[in-house]
Structure 1
């Protein structure tokens, strides 16, 4: 009788096992007349298929068959039964005759022993794979148990042998993890499981071969709460815009803003880069944000011959240089400050008022900006980078010495550069209204060039200063003209963001009073001056109170009444009637 009796669930499974065993037997006894270098030669297959434990066992058997002369007692192998030695010697001689190497016959090849086919019928396996692909790998993220329950019901309807829950879980884990996460959780969740792009040939360096060749520009919201320097009121978390050089990993510019990522943040970063180095990168790598697709941004890049490269969406590895910088800034700097919000990334229900970052905030905007730039420009700049083998400042100096200074790329801080770094409207132009000028963000701006009859009612390119709503620029007769806003004393020094928020608040206040009106500069000026007006009224009231309490002037004549000059009853009745408040005409409300 055979040593093992194999039992199968179906005839198809038995035939599949027989064919597999026949294929394995042919691979083991194949003739050694293979061409040299063929990867399918039996010797190559047996050696590459043997695991380290198999090789160690083959060496032990070889040492037992051919013991070394005068072997040391410490290294002597334990005694092996004579029958086992005869079996090993027979396998050695057979492999030497068939494969040309007797050592291959001593390999145990345990991975080929036994019945390693699946015990489930092929129909059940196919149905299980179908249920996993159609029921489990869905964006609704059903549980394993619910899908397994549906599989059991489907097997009962088809009279198939159902799999166990453990077998079903193992089948789910053996599926491609990237495809499974892509179907269940989306592209961003599956991105860390995607394969890397391996380069097997020498190509252009991905980070350039000199400074200022490639730079990355991106934004991140810092994990820290800020407060006002005057009122100590919480202002929220700021946004940081960083421009870093890909070759030397040196931070070119670091700016802060409370506004979400916008064209203004990009322009501030580029201005900072020119102020520090008088240079801009030759290639700028950005993501797919709208702030990088504006006409003003494209114009600035084209003017200074800068190539823009957009990273693929939801693939952060293409911007790993700046993304890693964000993480380093948080872990090495922000997380060591009072008021950092790393606690909010866990279970927010565990946060109490005593440890709430909003209550512990102590840093102001100006103080954080100063320290952030000091960290980026001085501390981080002199730390050794593991990929460079030196500090970023040293790599920058070495790159300039090798690649050259390239003086023709120097950019001066001129009026042209300042105007090009100013944003424009959505269309880039504005119509000249006769007698009023151009309207930008609810405000009219005027310059003497608008008196030209050829310019009236024409669409002219315009730009405005985000930090000062009192001035704007219009392109008239082949030159940029500075324009002054109406109510200039009110809007001068106010940011465009403040004006826009004021217009929203004003419109909301009118809607609450069931009044639908258009926002004009006059109403905006009134709204922005409301605080100053209240202060002026309060000051006037104090002045009036002090005047009433003061004694009368010495030169003021004293009026005395005598019985003869006392008013009559008719006069008193008339005075009482005319002095009634409800009968007086109201011109305006006094607050």
Structure 2
């Protein structure tokens, strides 16, 4: 569906009411969703929809909502999915049984070939909780569909059907596989696998792995095989196997043969979902308890009879009635020991918890000992008839309070998130395993000083910012840039350009934090222009973005700490004399730092690391070759550098000189078109080339150049980048240095004047000017009047 006219035709043919048509039309024109406003732990994404031909669909979570969109994109019955529509009024049932009207906003509208539906997207755990706690509003039909009755009733009055899509964690492999197939559809392949060819290859095997089949066919990548699965020529279990794991994913010619092969292979597997469960200590004892049980069993087999032995025989008899072996029946229940009833009086317990949650939690830096003393004083005053709890009990009850509650009280959201317990590993989203599928961008203020300007006996230094684009599947550095400015749109543009220059492509999805540079219109428009997914991780959540932070940490600990001018050991830097400070040891120029940064990356990506059997570079190259369809192919051409140029304010221009920006004149003959028609033009500034800008002239972005463009084009890549950084991003710093030098000049002149006055080396003479002297200088030709002139002797000049 491309235009609003197509939408109008669709709705008219479905005989919907005027109210329903207007409701769906508003969802097309202006979705009500502002994703990520209340996001805490979820990743929000802006995903270009194939069925909406470039329009972006926003999702508030990676699992339920992204999964729902993937299924809609893959389902041929769904024409398109529209973003969150407007809220409506529904009647919900309260805990006391009363019904109350309130606002309700569904998650999406889907237009299928037969009917339009309003959809609520929920996870399976949430749905089970609703079904248990609120059965008056949530129910399950005979067919197994989950119904939210208040919304279903309200939308029925509008003439629309309301449904609930339930995302089950068991569908995670299916969703990932469908997404991979959708990406492969965009990739053309010179090899086409038909059914006859597949039968010849599999005539001696009921199933084969994707990678083995690729080797048999001598294919460079897996694209033809993914196309064959998409067309039904090959069959794969998309719910249990991952197409991203080509060495384990089995394919066959029909479902029966595939299930037989999977059953045989599963017998050798070490683990599968649901294999490990919690075990009863009476069945699986600790080593200490097992030792006690064996000793008891040995005594039972002896001829002695004691009170304990008679009791153990009774335990064995009762155990046999519960299908327990003699060994299991004699296992001591040590873990059940202890009195679990509260021994502290209620008034004491209430005061203790109130103090811990509302007083102690709010105090910054107070120790447990000092906090206990303040509690003890308060308790003696509040309930003198009861003793305060001991310090040990005070510490125990403090430890029982969730760490995130203390963290939020003392450090806000960021500390709360840092102290929050991790999520269940089994319920987490799948990590990407394919290069170019997902990458992350972040910034780092490098712990080193670089020389910006030097003169005899003195240098001026500055700390650079490093921006990195990291592939999340392999930890490969896709792009880097350095800057002397704080993170901005310019830094983002530079790192994306670097990636395209090096690889000729960009990752399909880029994950960023919620900084202003990433939330800018520039970033959103760039991603939409090339059909890429922009995802934002939760704000103030240190656990996210660890891949990029890990690279920065490696660079600091393994390389930067060995270079002059570094401040890697912050404690040491704080304790040294001023003449030994890192800024005094700086010798690296920006070009040196840039080249060393890439030298470290090359070493890092080819070294042995972790538990993997391959280097980063090998994993990246191999994965990129097998799955080439995830990367977005982009040429580094005029369109790309124009799109990535950073739009600035409107500038005045001169018809004779051009446009002046920071004392640099830029000109293009196309400016003549604006003669007498405009006084200012819109400008996009190239973030890397200081000799190029783009001016909006009529309906074109025209490149404008400075006079140094020819000399700049002859320089090598590293020198071009550093020159642009110095001119663009160090101009303010150099202006401050120049201002400081001008002050030095004024100081020298003042000191020289004071010295001359004190030593009287320059006598002050009074000069008398005669009043009768002519005010106008004598004409130099006045002497020639009346003079005799010598005749001119003309001679002939020869060659």
Normalising TM by the smaller chain, what interval?
A: 0.5 to 0.7
> Deviations for 1:37-69, whole angstroms, at most 9, x for unmatched residues?
xxxxxxx967169644223212211111115xx
In the TM superposition, 1:109-508 aligns within 5 A as 109-113=333-337, 115-138=339-362, 140-156=364-380, 157-158=382-383, 159-200=385-426, 205-209=430-434, 211-228=435-452, 230-231=454-455, 233-344=459-570, 346=571, 349-353=574-578, 355-376=580-601, 378-386=602-610, 388-404=612-628, 409-425=632-648, 429=650, 447-452=668-673, 456-457=677-678, 460-466=681-687, 471-483=692-704, 495-500=727-732
2:313 is matched with: 89
3-state DSSP of counterpart to 2:282: helix
Shift of 1:235: 0.9
Task: Decide whether the 8 Å contact of 1:433 with 1:457 is kept in 2.
Answer: no
Shift of 1:387: 6.2
3-state DSSP of counterpart to 2:605: helix
CA separation in 2, counterparts of 1:503 and 1:347?
A: 32
CA separation in 2, counterparts of 1:255 and 1:338?
A: 21
CA separation in 2, counterparts of 1:254 and 1:221?
A: 13
CA separation in 2, counterparts of 1:452 and 1:244?
A: 44
3-state DSSP of counterpart to 1:317: coil
Aligned pair in 2 of structure 1 residues 398, 80: CA closer, same or farther (>3 Å)? farther
TM-score between both structures, scaled by the size of structure 1: 0.66
Shift of 1:373: 0.8
Shift of 1:385: 4.5
Q: In proportion to residue count, which structure has more strand?
A: 2
Aligned pair in 2 of structure 1 residues 349, 291: CA closer, same or farther (>3 Å)? closer
Task: Decide whether the 8 Å contact of 2:450 with 2:589 is kept in 1.
Answer: yes
CA separation in 1, counterparts of 2:578 and 2:293?
A: 68
Shift of 1:430: 5.0
CA separation in 1, counterparts of 2:527 and 2:321?
A: 75
Aligned pair in 2 of structure 1 residues 413, 309: CA closer, same or farther (>3 Å)? same
Q: In proportion to residue count, which structure has more helix?
A: 1
CA separation in 2, counterparts of 1:393 and 1:468?
A: 30
Aligned pair in 2 of structure 1 residues 367, 403: CA closer, same or farther (>3 Å)? same
Shift of 1:99: 7.5
3-state DSSP of counterpart to 2:600: helix
3-state DSSP of counterpart to 2:634: coil
CA separation in 1, counterparts of 2:659 and 2:562?
A: 49
Task: Decide whether the 8 Å contact of 1:472 with 1:484 is kept in 2.
Answer: yes
1:36 is matched with: none
Shift of 1:462: 1.4
TM-score between both structures, scaled by the size of structure 2: 0.50
CA separation in 2, counterparts of 1:412 and 1:46?
A: 63
CA separation in 2, counterparts of 1:281 and 1:45?
A: 48
> Deviations for 1:229-252, whole angstroms, at most 9, x for unmatched residues?
743614132211111222232111
In the TM superposition, 1:552-567 aligns within 5 A as none
Aligned pair in 2 of structure 1 residues 447, 394: CA closer, same or farther (>3 Å)? closer
Task: Decide whether the 8 Å contact of 2:655 with 2:675 is kept in 1.
Answer: no
> Deviations for 1:311-355, whole angstroms, at most 9, x for unmatched residues?
2112233322212111111122112223321222x2655323575
Aligned pair in 2 of structure 1 residues 195, 470: CA closer, same or farther (>3 Å)? same
Q: How many residues align?
A: 457
Aligned pair in 2 of structure 1 residues 260, 93: CA closer, same or farther (>3 Å)? same
1:63 matched to 2:298: yes
> Deviations for 1:253-306, whole angstroms, at most 9, x for unmatched residues?
222222222222222222221221111222111111222233333333333222
3-state DSSP of counterpart to 2:415: helix
Aligned pair in 2 of structure 1 residues 49, 152: CA closer, same or farther (>3 Å)? farther
Aligned pair in 2 of structure 1 residues 291, 101: CA closer, same or farther (>3 Å)? same
Aligned pair in 2 of structure 1 residues 277, 116: CA closer, same or farther (>3 Å)? closer
> Deviations for 1:476-525, whole angstroms, at most 9, x for unmatched residues?
1222223468999xxx988244555577899xx8xxxxxxxxxxxxxxxx
> Deviations for 1:364-400, whole angstroms, at most 9, x for unmatched residues?
2211211211221x21121234365311221122112
Task: Decide whether the 8 Å contact of 1:135 with 1:142 is kept in 2.
Answer: no
Structure 2 gaps of 5+ residues are: 1-278, 710-722, 750-765, 772-799
Q: Give the CA RMSD over aligned residues.
A: 4.2
**Which structure would you say has the larger Rg?**
1
CA separation in 2, counterparts of 1:474 and 1:263?
A: 18
Shift of 1:130: 1.3
Task: Decide whether the 8 Å contact of 1:95 with 1:103 is kept in 2.
Answer: no
